[in-house]
Amino acid sequence: MITGKSLHNSNTVFVMQQGSFVVPENGEFSIIYTGAEAEGMHFIDDPAMQVKLLTVPKLGVTVTLDGGKLKIDDIKKRDFGENNIVKESIRAFNSLFPDKDIVGFGFNMDIYYRFDNAIPIELLTDNFVDKKLPGSREITDFGFQFSARNEKSGRFERYFFKIAAPLELIAHVNHHYTERSVPKEERLKELFAACYNETDEVIEALNF
């Protein structure tokens, strides 16, 4: 049974149509945030890697344009309900790409789960690898992943699970939507919440 959970990392990603959008000038990043919000803000442009990165310490977010993907990360690792990632995602996108269509968007999260019953780590690893690995190697943790299509919502889901301790599991979760426009802020909040809350259903379906 799940006894606790917390969100440690989260981001929103908007996927642009390759070849159909104009890369914003560096100055356009600097005007997303002004006044007190812009204190300590810094910008990096790496043409070789095709990456533009804006760090906004006051708000605890980074805005990254990596090729055709705009990614907004919560660098303060705030828990669910405490971060502002959805609001800042909409703000950054509308500032850099007003009225621009996309080919998809999604969320990534690292969620830490705690249980009241121990996860049988040795039993799980025995199905995949010998207890004694060559070269005096010792297994320190174990993970597995799978992908799924959610027929109800139409989204694609990817899960990577790492058993960090007998009573703790880390879930890296990705939800991807193939919608052609950016949702309104309230709907994006609902989808972000679904990514966090509905992962419980998947956790409870794991056989261990």
pLDDT tens by residue, the chain, 208 residues: 899 999 999 999 999 987 778 899 999 999 999 999 999 999 999 999 999 999 999 999 999 999 899 999 999 999 999 999 999 999 999 999 987 889 999 999 999 999 998 888 777 787 788 777 888 887 778 899 999 999 988 999 999 999 988 899 999 999 999 999 999 999 999 999 999 999 999 999 998 7
CA distance 202 to 96: 36
- Sequence-ordered strand ranges (E) for the chain: 2-15, 42-46, 51-56, 61-66, 69-74, 104-115, 142-149, 156-165, 168-177
CB–CB of 2/113 below 8 Å?
Answer: yes
CB–CB of 141/125 below 8 Å?
Answer: no
Q: Which position has the token pair 């919560």?
A: 74
In angstroms, how far is the first alpha carbon of the chain from the final one? 11
DSSP 133: B
Query: Residue 157: beta bridge partners?
Result: 148, 175
CA of residue 7 relative to chain centroid, distance: 10
Question: What local confidence, expressed as pLDDT, does residue 126 receive?
Answer: 79
CA distance 188 to 160: 23
DSSP 36: G
Query: Residue 201: beta bridge partners?
Result: none
DSSP 184: P
CB–CB of 47/120 below 8 Å?
Answer: no
Q: Which position has the token pair 């694609």?
A: 156
Please enumerate in sequence order all residues whose Cβ is within 8 A of that of 115, keeping only pairs 6 or more positions apart, or say none: 1, 2, 3, 167, 168, 169
Helices 185-197, 85-96: inter-axial angle, 10-degree rounding: 140
Question: What local confidence, expressed as pLDDT, does residue 119 receive?
Answer: 86
